[in-house]
Amino acid sequence: MSIRNSRDLSKSNAHFQKALKRLPLGVASTFRYWGDDRTIYVKRGKGGRTWDIDDNCYVDYRLGYGPAILGYADDRVDEAAKKGMEVGGVFALSTERELIVADRIAKMVPSVDLVRYSNSGTEATMAALRVSRAFTGRDQYVLIEGGYHGLYDAAMWMANMDAWDPKSGEDPSVVPYSKGIPVTLKDLVHLTPMNDAQRLEDVFKQYGHKLAAMLMEPILGNCCGISATTEFVKLARALCDKYGVLLIIDEVKTGFRVARGGVQSLHGVRPDISTFAKAMANGYPIAAIGGREDVMRTFRYGGAAHGGTYTAHSVSLAAAERCLQILDETPALETLAAYGEKLKAGIKEILDRRGIVHSFTGHSSMFGLFFAAKPPVDYRAWKKSDYTFYDKMARHLQDMNIIVEPDSREPWFMCEAHDQSCLADTLKAVESAVDLTLEQLETEKRA
């Protein structure tokens, strides 16, 4: 018999009503709003778990969209961060630790010669695109449909699937996914589907001489971990070489998570520029742009401008130094990937017993779950797929104290601190959530 939710959110609900008077949607980020009666406020996090202000304890697979790769409040990283406080913060001057962390990044990622720091993934990819334009003298660029590169005007474009007729023979129109994006920027961006070699070649044939960069996530971090094939990534590299275009691999979510050398190392491809952020410092705010020396030295007076008051903050640098050391020199990545494999195996067993067709995509450390025999290979296929079962199941999981994204776009993230108790609690909840979803769908079918 299914276990139904007994979660109490009375304090979160009450706080939401108060916060709504001072904060849009009652939160500091639009994506933290889950509904007037479902938005939660965190009291604390430790390891692989989060507690809200109602003292509900959750197993957390969002992990702040991936940063808490070692687990919340990791003692090793937090101790290093405290030492970083002793440095004094920011000075509008540099500190020695900037080089120490840059050396570690270059050691782990062979394509990185030089490094610059930013505060967020958004800032890092924005700087990467700017330096590409400065280096090439070109303005236009290619994005992969379904990719996410942060909340800035140049990157906030998507394929309009709602208005697309696949039988038309035309590509979906390109539209901004936010109000306030200047429509004039549309002339600079070209979207192409993941894993469609012919379409990618066509884009380069038509626009290659105008392109500064191709910006891609080989694992779509905001489209449920849909992954590029190695052949597609290598084709992108070859086309960029042919047309003098810089290849930017966005490793904001995959960097130092799926492998020490990032997703690029799994495909055996060297981008011209890489961007990193989320797993760098176990949740402390820091990001990096790294790449070829000749490209990166375009960050100079008279070249591409780059900076920021809080860039390379002493606390974040100290946390990054320790976090990257752990990821590089210990089996942390193997540990969290092995947990992901156990979790997928447990979910598979539950679904198989009920005859529910499903598949996984992404990497063991950040995977997506689909209720289809084969996962989508691109954003178009995902958008046209039926993700009703997942979306309903996700809500039940939240009610049973398992934090996953409310819809199927965001992968499940693993951390080193996820343990056997997390696994047991998760699989118990998944079994109940699946049964409740089946009951719910049957009820709706009869209605």
Q: Would you state the pLDDT for residue 156?
A: 96
The CATH number of whichever domain residue 399 belongs to comes to 3.90.1150.10
Task: Provide the residue type at 405 as one letter.
Answer: E
| pLDDT tier for residue 119 given thresholds of 50, 70 and 90 | very high
**Same domain? 321 vs 335:** no
pLDDT of residue 281: 98
Structural domain for 432, as ranges: 10-72+331-446
Read off the pLDDT band of 1 (50, 70, 90): very low
**Domain boundary residue among 294, 329, 364?**
329
Q: Are residues 195 and 60 in the same domain?
A: no
278-293 in b/e form (b: 16+ CB < 10 A) is bbbbbbbbbbbbbbbe
Structure tokens at 13: 């609900």
Claim to verify: residue 200 and residue 301 sit in the same structural domain: yes
**Are the C-beta atoms of residues 54 and 8 closer than 8 Å to each other?**
yes
- Residue 446 above 70 pLDDT? yes
Per-residue pLDDT at 406 exceeds 90 = no
Q: Does residue 189 carry a pLDDT above 60?
A: yes
CATH number, domain with residue 230: 3.40.640.10
pLDDT for residue 386: 87
Number of H helices, E strands in the chain: 13, 16
Contact 48, 403 (CB under 8 A): no
Tell me, yes or no, whether 308 and 209 share the same domain. yes
Retrieve residue 58's tokens.
């959750």
The share of the chain scoring above pLDDT 70, in percent, equals 99
DSSP secondary structure, 185-202, as one string: GGGGEEEE-TT-HHHHHH
- The pLDDT score that the predictor gives to residue 5 is 55
Residue carrying structure tokens 């507690």? 51
> Crossing angle of helices 420-446/388-399, nearest 10°?
130
172 is a domain residue: yes
Look up residue 243 and give its two tokens: 């047309």
Q: For residues 66-79, give the mean pLDDT.
A: 98
Q: State the DSSP string of 106-117.
A: HHH-TT-SEEEE
Q: Are residues 64 and 151 in the same domain?
A: no
Of 298, 329, 360, which one is at a domain's C-terminal end? 329
- Identify the pLDDT of residue 2: 45
What is the tally of structural domains in the chain?
A: 2
Residue 126 lies in a domain: yes
Kindly state whether residues 229 and 272 are assigned to the same domain: yes
pLDDT at residue 4 tops 60: no
| Same domain flag for 314 and 422 | no
Mark which of 291, 308, 329 sits at the end of a domain.
329
On whether residue 2 sits in a domain, the answer given is no
The pTM of the full predicted model, rounded to 2 decimals, is 0.96
**Does any domain span residue 215?**
yes
4 domain-assigned = no
Residues 80 and 51 in one domain: no
| 124-148 pLDDT tens trace | 999 999 999 999 999 999 999 999 9
Residue 385 included in any domain:
yes
Residue 1 lies in a domain: no
In a domain, 5, yes or no: no
Of 140-154, 262-276, 379-393, the range with the lowest mean pLDDT is 379-393
**Above pLDDT 90, what percent of the chain?**
92
Together in a domain, 189 and 232: yes
For the segment 406-417, the average pLDDT, to the nearest whole number, is 92
* 308 and 169 inside one domain: yes
Q: Which tens digit of pLDDT belongs to each residue from 360-383?
A: 999 999 999 999 999 999 999 988
Q: Give strand pairing partners of 46.
A: 49
pLDDT digits (tens, 9 = 90+) for 152-173: 999 999 999 888 888 888 889 9
Mean pLDDT of 245-274: 98
pLDDT(311) > 50: yes
Q: Mean pLDDT throughout 419-438?
A: 98
Distance CA 127, CA 353 (A): 49
Same-domain status, 339 and 203:
no
CB-based contact 236:199 (threshold 8 Å): no
Q: Residues of 77-94 as b/e, b for ≥16 C-beta within 10 angstroms?
A: beebbeebeebeebeeee
AA letter at 25:
L
The pLDDT, as a whole number, for residue 195 is: 97
In which element (H, E) is residue 215 found?
Answer: strand 211-216
Statement to judge: residues 290 and 351 lie in one domain: no
